[in-house]
A and B are shown apart, each in its own frame.
Chain A
Amino acid sequence: MNHAPTRDEMTHEEAADDRTMFGFWVYLMTDLLMFAVLFAVFAVLLNSTDGGPGATDLLSPQIALINTVLLLTSSFTVGLGLQAVTWFGLTFLLGAAFLGVELYEFYELIHHGHTMQSSAFLSAFFVLLSTHGLHIAAGLLWLGIILIYVLKRGLTRSNVRKLALLSLFWHFLDIVWIFIFTVVYLMPFTGV
C-alpha cells in the first residue's frame, strides 16, 4: 500500500523544513539568553570603573548611531533578499561596514589605553560588544558560504532554507543591537 511517492516526498521534506525553522528559532532564544547574561553583567558593572573613566567619558552615541543605521539597513536588505537574492550582496557590504566601524571604535579606545583589562566596566563593554560583533562576523562568513553554495548549485531547496535561516539570524542580531544601542550607548547618558 504505497502512497504516491512524490507526494509523500513533499510532505516529508516540508515537515523537515518546518522542524528546522522551529529548531533554529529555539536556538536563537538560547542565544538571546547568552546575551541576557552579558547585559546583566554590563548593567551590574556599569559603575565599577575602578577609578578610571566611565561610560560617559569614553563612549560616543554618534558612532553607535552610524552603526545602528548600518545594521538596520542591512536587516532591511535581508528582508528584501528573500524576494531577490542580489540584495544579500548589499547586506554583506553593510555588515562588513558595521564591523569596520566597530573595530575603529575599539581601536580608538585601545589606542588611548582603555583596554578590557582596565576596569570591570570596560571588560563588560568589550565582551558584550565583541560577542555581538563575533555573531555578525559569523553571519557574514555564513552568508558568504551560502552564496557560494547558491553559485554552485543554484537556489535548491536546501539553499533557500539556509538563506531563510540566515535572515532569521540577521534580524535577531539587529534586535539585540537595538538594546545594545539603548543600554550601552544611551542609558549612561540619562544620568541615572
Chain B
Amino acid sequence: MAEHIQNNGITTGNEHGSVRSYVIGFILSLVLTAIPYYMVTEQLMTGRTLLLIILGIALAQMFVQIFFFLHLGRGPKPLYNVIFFGATAGLIVLVVGASLLIMDNLYRNMSPQEITVRMAQEENIAELNGLSTGACQGNNANHIVVISSESVQPQYIEASRCDTLSFAVEDGEDHMIMFGSYEEPVSYGGMYDVIVRSDRSKIITLNEVGNFTYHDHSNPDIIGSFSVVEP
C-alpha cells in the first residue's frame, strides 16, 4: 500500500522533503558517525583536541539531520520553531556547561559527610526522623580565644558540639590560624584555615566532634587545642 500521503495538506514541514534529501542526509550521517568512531578506536590522537573534534562532529551531524530529516527552517512560518530550537540549544549548553563548572568548583574542599552537614546547616534542619543531621541550631555557648604575638589564651578549650569559638586578636596584626600541626594540616568542618583580622573577631561553629589542635601560620610554635564532645 504505497500510498502517497504527502499531499494531504498537512504542514509537516516535509513538503520539500524529497527522497533525495533523506538519502543525502543518511549518507552524510553515516560518514559523520564513522569518522569519530575511527578516530577514537584507532587512537589517532587523544586528549582535549580529540574530545573537541568528536563533539564538533556530533554537532555537525545534528545539523545535518535537522536540515535533511527535520527540514527545520523550511515549510511555512518556521520562525517560531527555529527560535525555540535555538533557545533550547542555549539552555542545554547552560545546564550541562554550568553544572560541570559549578560542580568542579564546589567539590574542591568537601567530603560527602561535610556536605551533608553544610546542607543541613543551610536548611536549618538539625534532626530528621530521629536522626541527627550534624547541623547546629539555636544559640549555644561561645568560647573565646585571644591570640597575641606570643601565645593563645586559653591554650585548651573544652566545648560541646554546636558551641561557637571566637578568635580575637590582641597584637594588632592579622593572623592565619591553621588546623592541625604545621607538618600535618587537617581540616575542621571543611575548613583548613581561619583568617582573623586585627580589627574584628572571627567566629566558627564547632560542628565536628573530637580533639583538634591549631597553630598560627606565621609562627607555628604558637599552638592551641580544643576538644568537642556531644552535649
Chain A interface residues (CB < 8 Å from chain B): 10, 14, 17-18, 21-22, 25-26, 29, 32-33, 36-37, 39-41, 43-44, 61, 65, 68-69, 72-73, 75-76, 79-80, 82-86, 155, 157, 160-161, 163-164, 167-168, 171-172, 174-175, 178-179, 181-183, 186-187, 189-192
Question: Are A17 and B95 in contact (CB-based, < 8 A)?
Answer: no
Given A33-B95, A191-B47: A69 and B4 interface contact (C-beta under 8 Å): no
Q: Considering the complex, give the chain B residue whose CB is closest to the CB of A157.
A: B8
Question: Are B69 and A61 in contact (CB-based, < 8 A)?
Answer: no
Partner of B99, one of A44, A69, A171: A44
Judge if B85 is at the interface, Cβ distance under 8 Å.
Answer: yes
Shortest distance between the CB of A50 and any CB in chain B (Å): 11
Chain A hits for B36, CB < 8 A: 182, 186
Interface majority SS (helix, strand, loop, mixed), chain B: helix
7 A-B contact pairs sorted by A residue (CB < 8 Å): A85-B5, A86-B1, A164-B14, A178-B33, A189-B41, A191-B47, A192-B50
Question: Are A84 and B4 in contact (CB-based, < 8 A)?
Answer: yes
Shortest distance between the CB of B201 and any CB in chain A (Å): 38
Q: Give the A-B contact count at a CB cut-off of 8 A.
A: 158
Interface majority SS (helix, strand, loop, mixed), chain A: helix
Chain B interface residues (CB < 8 Å from chain A): 1-6, 8-14, 17, 19, 22-23, 25-26, 29-30, 33, 36-37, 40-41, 46-48, 50-51, 54-55, 57-58, 61-62, 65-66, 69-70, 76-77, 80-81, 84-85, 87-88, 91-92, 95-96, 99-100, 103
CA distance in complex: A189, B69 (Å): 30
Question: Are A36 and B70 in contact (CB-based, < 8 A)?
Answer: no
Question: Are B65 and A171 in contact (CB-based, < 8 A)?
Answer: yes
Shortest distance between the CB of B10 and any CB in chain A (Å): 5
Question: Are B99 and A43 in contact (CB-based, < 8 A)?
Answer: yes
CA distance in complex: A68, B103 (Å): 31
Q: Considering the complex, give the chain A residue whose CB is closest to the CB of B107.
A: A44
Of A25, A32, A161, most buried by chain B (CB within 10 Å of CB) is A25
A32-B88, A183-B55 known; 8 other A-B pairs, CB under 8 Å?
A: A10-B9, A25-B84, A69-B30, A79-B22, A85-B2, A171-B70, A187-B51, A192-B51
